[in-house]
Amino acid sequence: MERQREETRRIEAFRNAARTILPLPEDEVRRRAEAGTLTELPGIGPSTASVITDACNGVVPDRLVRLEKTSGPLAHGGEQLRSLLRGDLHSHSDWSDGGSPLEEMAMTAMEVGHDYLVLTDHSPRLRVAHGLSAERLARQLGVVEAVNEHLGGSFTLLKGIEVDILDDGSLDQTPEMLGRLDVRVASVHSKLKMDEAPMTRRMVAAVRNPHTNVLGHCTGRLVTGNRGTRPPSRFDARAVFTACAEEGVAVEINSRPERRDPPSRLLELARDLGCLFSIDSDAHAPGQLDMLDHGAARATEAGIDPDRIVNTWERDRLLEWASARL
Ligand SMILES: [Zn+2]
Ligand SMILES: [Zn+2]
């Protein structure tokens, strides 16, 4: 359902029902399924109850049959490149504005076949998205370490942030905290309509900051979807991408269909200027980790060499690159 960007409310209904059912003893669930009393439990309505009842009876729920018919790549043309991607550098959990616990994001990333996932919850200034203060981020890092210990090394949840680029181009987190992270995505989320010259200065300053590894969704545009549309920010793309190429900062290819950022013309410019790239899902829910299909299709169409895409790299090479300017 998340892959198809169905309504959050409907997806939440299934997540809430799962939360109620999972801790219950199996025989109680069976008894209730037989007696038709599942809906007496909190968070379980008629449609989630029918799915649970089917599962108890060993029947694959209709809803799942229908959804599984739509499995397979979300986009065509990028399959080969997608198979080379080893991880994802941009994802959110319910610590900021994502819908799921970070443990669940990690589990799904493993299922998708990633070697690593960078958890990049928002920074303090983005209050609408419950951005993390330095204290909360420090606490999150402890949880990430515990998850990795539990997983035992075959997959790594990497420590990261999507840090706001403030009006003057500085980054919205303390240098100490930024220094404790593995990978840092820097994005503009405010004053997207700034004039071209100050916006260029703002973005170049952020790219020159040695903590920045990835320039997130550079134009901020929205092309479709329930948040409406938004024009791209105006900046001197040649100056910004030249700075990215000089600093070894990856230009993000944001895979979300409502963003398609950068637009094709800018993607080609960044390609011609020798930039590195990162194909990111910007997932706010586990199922959205599959969005990479869209970004892989766009990068393939633009003829970008896979070795210039940092998430085709092995974890250790990625980490070395991400700490190279510190
Ligand atoms: Zn963002
Ligand atoms: Zn994001």
- pLDDT for the residue numbered 7: 79
Rounded to whole angstroms, the Cα distance separating 162 from 143 reads 18
Average pLDDT, the chain: 95
- Per-residue pLDDT of 232-249, as tens digits, reads 999 999 999 999 999 999
Q: How confident is the model at residue 49 (pLDDT cuts 50, 70, 90)?
A: very high
> Taking Cα atoms as reference points, which of 326, 302, 300, 325 lies closest to residue 312?
300
Contact 118, 90 (CB under 8 A): yes
Q: Return phi, psi of residue 125, to 5°.
A: -65, -25
Query: In this prediction, what percent of the chain has a pLDDT beyond 90?
Result: 87
User: For residue 54, how far is the Cα from the chain centroid?
Assistant: 33
CA distance 29 to 320: 49
Separation of CA 162 and ligand 2 centre (Å): 6
Structure confidence at residue 76 (pLDDT): 92
The residue ranges of every structural domain in the chain are 2-69, 78-324
CB 109 within 8 A of CB 289: yes
Place 9 in a pLDDT band, splitting at 50, 70 and 90: confident
pLDDT(45) > 80: yes
pLDDT at 3: 85
CA of 66 to the centre of ligand 1 (A): 32
Distances (CA, A) of 30 to 54, 59, 179, 198: 11, 13, 51, 63
CB 92 within 8 A of CB 118: no
**Topology annotation, domain 78-324:** TIM Barrel (3.20.20)
- Any alpha helices (H) in 181-307, and if so which ranges? 196-208, 237-247, 264-272, 292-301
Which ligand is nearest the CA of 261, by number? 1
Chain centroid, CA 45 distance in Å = 30
Provide the pLDDT for residue 63. Answer: 86
3-state helix, strand, coil in the chain (%, to 5): 45, 15, 40
State in Å: Cα 316 to ligand 1 middle: 25
Q: Categorize the per-residue pLDDT at 15 as very low, low, confident or very high, splitting at 50, 70 and 90.
A: confident
In this structure, what token pair is assigned to residue 256? Answer: 């979300």
Bridge partner residues of 215 (DSSP): 186, 251
CA of 279 to the centre of ligand 1 (A): 14
Q: Which two tokens stand for residue 318?
A: 């990625």
Averaged pLDDT, 13-21:
91
Over the stretch 138-192, which tens digit does the pLDDT of each residue have? Answer: 999 999 999 999 998 899 999 999 999 999 999 999 999 999 999 999 999 999 9
**Residue 5 banded pLDDT, cuts 50, 70, 90:** confident
Categorize the per-residue pLDDT at 305 as very low, low, confident or very high, splitting at 50, 70 and 90: very high
User: Which ligand lies nearest to the CA atom of residue 187 in the structure?
Assistant: 1
Angle between the N-to-C axes of helices 264-272 and 292-301, in degrees from 0 to 180, rounded to the nearest 10: 60
Chain mean position to CA 275: 21
> Cis (ω within 30 of 0) for the bond into 262?
yes
pLDDT computed for residue 87 by the predictor: 98
Q: What is the pLDDT of residues 69-123, one digit of tens each?
A: 888 889 999 999 999 999 999 999 999 999 889 999 999 999 999 999 999 999 9
The 8-class DSSP code of residue 116 comes to: E
* Mean pLDDT, range 125-136, rounded to an integer: 94
End-to-end CA distance of the chain: 41
